[in-house]
Amino acid sequence: MKTPHRGMTLLELMSAIAITGVLLALAMPNLMGAIQNQRMSGAQRSIHLETLEARQQARRTRQPVRLSIINAPNENGVLGPALRWEQLDCVPGNTWGTQCPIPACRNTACSTPASPTGCTCSKTGTPVPLPPNLDVNSLAGLCWLGGETGGVVAPLGTTTCDPANPVAGNTAFRVRRGDGQGNYKVDQVFILNALTGSLQPVDCTKVPRPTECPAS
């Protein structure tokens, strides 16, 4: 004689749903943390590519190229901070000197249709949206002067590409990651090679901690 098929009772179904909800609630923070870490790592890789493109553009065009933090839409169309390179225009007929970049570019990013600043750029890189709690302010204003022997300079009071402020070799530019509570730690550094002008990323989360990484 066959045993009649018995389905789940309402109580059993509600218990299964409740257990599933508890498991999802426990897993959600870990899942969100993994997604956030993935976004952070992806942004850091894109930032490194942006620095390589900036250096290459400066050497090829023999014009100054600067890293700037601007407002740009992310993948969801929401405006937020983003990092990009900007090839700064020179006064027509002038080579590197007081007229390159043009005066309007000395303390502003390049104009956009939504935000005219008077600073014009021949070309700009693709903006890299910065995830919340990722601090890359140490890279803002970093400038490649252009040409085969053009050096790398840091901002000196303004965002001007000022050849009077060269960056020494092995300088570490810090990328900091926050925990959402206002606490930041150095997650990565970019080490400058003064001879080539390239920035080499160093992962500061490794154990033992690389000697190039500062404590904070």
List, in order, residues 6 or more apart from 48 with CB less than 8 Å away: 190, 199, 201
Say if residues 133 and 43 touch (Cβ distance below 8 Å). Answer: no
Supply the pLDDT for residue 162.
Answer: 81
**What are the residue ranges spanned by the domains of the chain?**
11-165
Q: 10 Å Cβ neighbour count for 16? A: 11
Q: How far apart are CA 200 and CA 57, in angstroms?
A: 17
Torsion of CA 39, 42, 43, 45, to 10 degrees: 160
Rounded to 5 degrees, what are φ and ψ at 97? Answer: 165, -150
Query: For every one of its 216 residues, what pLDDT tens digit does the chain have, with 9 covering 90 and above?
Result: 555 555 567 776 777 787 777 766 665 666 656 666 677 788 889 999 999 999 999 888 888 899 999 888 888 888 899 999 999 888 776 555 456 778 888 778 887 766 788 888 888 999 999 998 899 999 999 999 876 556 898 887 777 788 888 888 888 999 998 887 888 889 899 999 888 888 999 999 888 989 888 876
* pTM higher than the cut 0.85: no
Q: How far apart are CA 210 and CA 208, in angstroms?
A: 6
pLDDT tens track for 28-59: 666 656 666 677 788 889 999 999 999 999 88
70 strand-pairing partners: 82
